[in-house]
Amino acid sequence: MDLQADKKVALSIEYTDEVGNPTTAPTGATAAYTVDDPTIINLTDNGDGTAEAAATGALGTANVHLDVNFTDSDGNPVSLAGDLQLVVVAGLAERVNIVAGAPEEVTP
């Protein structure tokens, strides 16, 4: 998703079955978010399956990664992973600068 350089976005988990149908969260699931480039995205993992990804102001691409671990009904450990790519783009115009051209000779 594109995210303007002065914005943030809330992140949460949606569980689906193997064909993409929404389902409930596994009992005892733990989730951990990470980001591959903290100079682009400041990631806050809230520790409850939610997080916040805030642009730092620098333009570029960062990938948020999610690991979820739980034990299935047979007692087997299960690990799931998900990724979200955030492309930080320029925000809307809010300031203006005067740009000077190259100096030229003045003839009297």
pLDDT in tens, the chain (108 residues): 999 999 999 999 999 999 999 999 999 999 999 999 999 999 999 999 999 999 999 999 999 999 999 999 899 999 999 999 999 999 888 889 999 999 999 988
Compute the distance between CA of residue 76 and CA of residue 12 in angstroms, rounded to an integer: 25
Is residue 16 within 8 A of residue 68, CB to CB? The reply is: no
Tokens of 5: 């350089």
pLDDT at residue number 98: 92
Beta strands 51-55 and 8-11, pairing class: antiparallel
In a domain, 31, yes or no: yes
DSSP code at position 75: S
Q: What's 49's domain CATH number?
A: 2.60.40.1080
In a domain, 100, yes or no: no
pLDDT at residue number 89: 97
In a domain, 108, yes or no: no
